[in-house]
């Protein structure tokens, strides 16, 4: 219980801190978390941990960090075939979710800045728009 309060406190401090820095990123992440809990959570799980050998993790994912464009492309157009994440090979299908470019930018900002992930550069609608099949 104490631990949980402490976690919440840290979370709030974190939120205020980031908020003060980057209100734009922050509001994109809030929208992104709604998208995540609607479209992604059933496979990638609440803390981005994925399901071992079936659905790759997003939390602390080397693929997500190193393959930014490919990751956005996967969300936009779907993902199929082999994918190596943190040394583990996944071979599965993710259907395109039918999200618009703004929703994709939001959910990318959420997953790229949650669960120990962080990025210096915010994903923008423009960036998503520019990625083609």
Stretch that binds another protein, among 14-22, 60-68, 91-99, 107-115 (CB under 8 A): 91-99
Q: Is 5 a binder of another protein (CB under 8 A)?
A: no
Question: Which residue number, 23 or 78, has a Cβ lying nearer to another protein?
Answer: 78
Per CB under 8 A, does 78 bind another protein? yes
> For the chain, where are the E strands, in sequence order?
79-85, 88-94
Q: How far apart are CA 46 and CA 85, in angstroms?
A: 18
Measured distance CA(51)–CA(102) in Å, rounded: 27
**Short-list 24, 36, 20, CA closest to 108:** 36
Distance CA 121, CA 24 (A): 12
Cβ atoms of residues 128 and 105 within 8 Å: yes
Toward another protein, which CB reaches closer, 99 or 122? 99
Cβ proximity of 22 and 123 under 8 Å:
no
Q: Which of residues 42-71 bind another protein (CB under 8 A)?
A: 42-43, 45-46, 51, 54
Could you say which of 14, 52, 96, 116 contacts another protein (CB under 8 A)? 96
Quote the least distance from Cβ 95 to another protein, whole Å. Answer: 5
| Position 98 contacts another protein (CB under 8 A) | yes
Residues that bind another protein (CB under 8 A): 37-39, 41-43, 45-46, 51, 54, 78, 80-81, 91-93, 95-99
């Amino acid at each position: 219980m104490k631990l949980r309060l402490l976690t919440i406190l840290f979370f709030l401090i974190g939120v205020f801190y980031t908020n003060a820095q980057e209100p734009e990123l922050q509001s994109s992440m809030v929208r992104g978390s709604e998208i995540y809990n609607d479209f992604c959570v059933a496979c990638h799980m609440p803390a981005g941990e994925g399901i071992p050998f079936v659905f790759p993790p997003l939390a602390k994912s080397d693929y997500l960090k190193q393959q930014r464009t490919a990751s956005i492309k996967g969300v936009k157009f779907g993902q199929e075939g082999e994918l190596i994440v943190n040394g583990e090979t996944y071979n599965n299908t993710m259907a395109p979710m039918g999200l618009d470019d703004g929703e994709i930018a939001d959910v990318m900002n959420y997953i790229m800045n949650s669960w120990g992930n962080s990025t210096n550069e915010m994903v923008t609608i423009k960036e998503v728009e520019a990625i083609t099949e």
